[in-house]
Amino acid sequence: MHLIGQAIEAAAVVLTVIAGRAVLVYFKPYRQCRWCRPGGLLGGSVAARMAGHEPGRRRQRGCRRCKGTRITRRMGAKQVHKTRIAAVQAWAERGD
């Protein structure tokens, strides 16, 4: 019985983390481009600064990730958006 309880507890934690990530991505789907922000890919992390990495200049040309907008979508933002649209459409069809 103890093993089943641990499995249920682990599943609850995983589902909570997934739900939390979905809420974050739903309310804040965009973030700064990692490649274009000051310091590049490693410039913003605490570990990089502790290792002595100095933030350099931002890229002058647009990178291929953000196409020059300096904003990219978070991982999973597109899927969360599509799921929301599908749920709204299903709810509307159900009412008819």
pLDDT in tens, 52-69: 766 665 556 667 778 777
Q: Please count the structural domains in the chain.
A: 1
Residue-range definition of the domain harbouring residue 75? 2-95
Please give the backbone phi and psi of residue 52, each rounded to the nearest 5 degrees, phi first: 100, 10
CB atoms within 10 A of CB 32: 13
More confident residue, 79 or 39: 79
How does residue 25 score in pLDDT terms, banded at 50, 70 and 90? confident
Query: 37: burial class by Cβ within 10 Å (0-12, 13-18, 19+)?
Result: middle
- Decide if 79 contacts 29 (C-beta within 8 A): no
CA gap 34, 72 in Å, rounded: 8
CA gap 45, 54 in Å, rounded: 11
